A and B are shown apart, each in its own frame.
Chain A
Amino acid sequence: MFLINCPYCGERDQSEFSCGGEAHIERPKQPTELSDDQWAEYLFMRKNVKGIQFERWNHIHGCRKWFNVARDTSNDKIHAVYKMGERPPIK
Chain B
Amino acid sequence: MSKNLRINKNKFIDQTARILFKFNGKKLYGHKGDTLASALLANNIHLVGRSFKYHRPRGIMTCGSEEPNAIVQIGNDPALTDPNVRATEIELYDGLEAFSQNCWPSVNFDIGGINNFLSPLLPAGFYYKTFMWPASFWEKYEFFIRHSAGLGKSPNKPDLDLYDHQYAHCDVLVIGGGISGILSAKLSAEKGLNTILVDDKNNLGGSTLYQDDNAFKINNENSNIWLNKQIEDLKKLPNLTIKKRTSVAAFHAYNYLLARENLTDHLSLHERKNKIRQRLWKIRAKKVVIATGAIERPLIFSNNDRPGIILSSSIKKYIDYYGVKTGENVSLFTNNDSAYEAAISLNKSGVKVKVIIDIRENPNSVLTEKIEKAGIKILKGYTVIDTNGYKRIKSFDVKKLSKDGGSVVGEKITYTCDCLGISGGWTPMVHLFTQSGGKLKFRNSDNVFIPDENKIPSEQISVGSSNGDFELDDVVNNTIKSIMVFLKLDKSNYEQLNIECSKEKQKRNIWLLPSDKPMSKTKPFLDFQNDSTAKDVKLALREGFKSIEHVKRYTTTGMGTDQGKLSNMHALGIIADTTGTNMGELGTTTFRPPYTPLTFGAIVGRNVGEFFDHTRRTAIHNWHVENKAEFENVGQWKRPWYFPKNGETMNQAVQRESKAARESAGILDASTLGKIDLQGEDASEFLNRVYTNAWSKLAIGKCRYGLMLNEDGMVYDDGVTTRLGENHYIMTTTTGGAANVLTKLEDYLQTEWPDLNVYLTSVTDQYSTMSICGPNSKKIIKKIIPNLDLSDDNFPHMSFKNSKIDNVNCRIMRISFTGEHSYEINVQSNFALNVWEKCMEAGKEFNITPYGTETMHLLRAEKGFIITGQDTDGTLTPSDLQMDWIIGKKKYDFIGKRSLYRSDTIREDRKQFIGLLTDDPKEVLEEGAQLVESLEKPIEMLGHVTSSYFSPNLNKSIALAVVKSGKKLKGKKLIVPMENKNINVTITDTVFYDKENKRLNA
Contact = CB atoms under 8 A, between A and B. Distances in A.
A20 B748 CA distance: 12
Contact of A66 (B252, B284, B750): B750
Interface in A24-77: 26-28, 30-32, 34, 36, 39-40, 43, 56, 58, 60, 64-66, 75-76
A33 B903 CA distance: 15
Interface string B181-214: 0000000000000000000000000000000000
Contacts of A28: 898
B754 A75 contact: no
B711 A3 contact: no
Contacts of B902: 36, 39-40
Contact of A2 (B254, B754, B898): B254
Interface in B741-757: 743, 746-747, 750-752, 754
Given A36-B902, A43-B899, A85-B754, A1 B747 contact: no
B893 A32 contact: yes
A22 to B, nearest CB: 12
Contacts of A30: 893
Given A39-B902, A43-B899, A27 B254 contact: no
A35 to B, nearest CB: 10
Contacts of A1: 252-254, 256
A56 B437 CA distance: 25
A83 to B, nearest CB: 10
Contacts of B750: 65-66, 84
Given A1-B252, A3-B254, A43-B711, A34 B746 contact: no
Contacts of A64: 746
Contacts of B897: 31-32
A66 B751 CA distance: 7
Interface string B711-751: 11000000000000000000000000000000100110011
B95 interface: no
B584 interface: no
A76 B750 CA distance: 25
A28 to B, nearest CB: 8
Nearest to B898: A31
A9 B132 CA distance: 55
Nearest to A34: B898
Nearest to A30: B893
B457 interface: yes
A63 to B, nearest CB: 11
B143 interface: no
Contacts of A43: 711-712, 899
B710 to A, nearest CB: 9
Nearest to A84: B751
Contacts of A26: 752
B751 A75 contact: no
A2 B752 contact: no
Nearest to B748: A27
B611 interface: no
A39 B899 contact: yes
A60 B254 contact: no
Given A2-B253, A3-B254, A39 B898 contact: yes
B109 interface: no
A1 B254 CA distance: 7
B426 to A, nearest CB: 29
Nearest to A38: B898
B842 to A, nearest CB: 41
Nearest to B437: A75
Nearest to B710: A43
Given A43-B711, A66-B750, A32 B898 contact: yes
Nearest to A39: B898
B892 interface: yes
Contacts of B457: 75
B906 to A, nearest CB: 10
Contacts of A75: 253, 437, 457
B745 to A, nearest CB: 11
A34 B746 CA distance: 26
B747 A20 contact: yes
Contact of B253 (A20, A31, A58, A76): A76
A20 B750 CA distance: 13
Interface string B433-477: 000010000000000000000000100000000000000000000
A58 B898 contact: no
Given A32-B898, A43-B899, A60 B253 contact: no
A36 B903 contact: yes
Given A32-B898, A40-B902, A60 B754 contact: no
Most-contacted residue by chain A among B747, B893, B898 (CB, 10 A): B898
B751 A56 contact: yes
Contact of B754 (A3, A34, A58, A84): A84
A32 B254 contact: no
Contacts of B746: 58, 64, 66
B440 to A, nearest CB: 16
A23 to B, nearest CB: 9
Contacts of A36: 902-903
A32 B903 CA distance: 14
B763 to A, nearest CB: 15
Given A39-B898, A84-B750, A84-B751, A58 B892 contact: no
Contacts of A32: 892-893, 897-898
A27 B747 contact: no
**Which of B256, B750, B903 has the most CB atoms of chain A within a 10 A radius of its CB?**
B750
A75 B254 CA distance: 10
Nearest to B902: A36
A20 B271 CA distance: 50
Nearest to B256: A1
Nearest to B742: A64
Nearest to B253: A76
A26 B753 CA distance: 10
A75 B253 CA distance: 8
Task: Name the residue among A31, A36, A75, A76 with the largest chain B CB count within 10 angstroms.
Answer: A31
Contacts of A84: 750-751, 754
Contacts of B256: 1-2
13 contacts: A1-B256, A2-B256, A30-B893, A31-B897, A34-B898, A39-B898, A39-B899, A40-B902, A56-B751, A58-B747, A65-B750, A84-B754, A85-B754
Given A39-B902, A84-B754, 14 more contacts: A1-B254, A3-B254, A3-B284, A13-B284, A32-B898, A36-B902, A36-B903, A39-B898, A40-B902, A43-B711, A43-B712, A84-B750, A84-B751, A85-B754
> What are the 10 closest A-B residue pairs judged by CB atoms, nearest first?
A31-B898, A2-B254, A66-B750, A76-B253, A1-B256, A27-B752, A39-B898, A3-B254, A2-B253, A66-B751
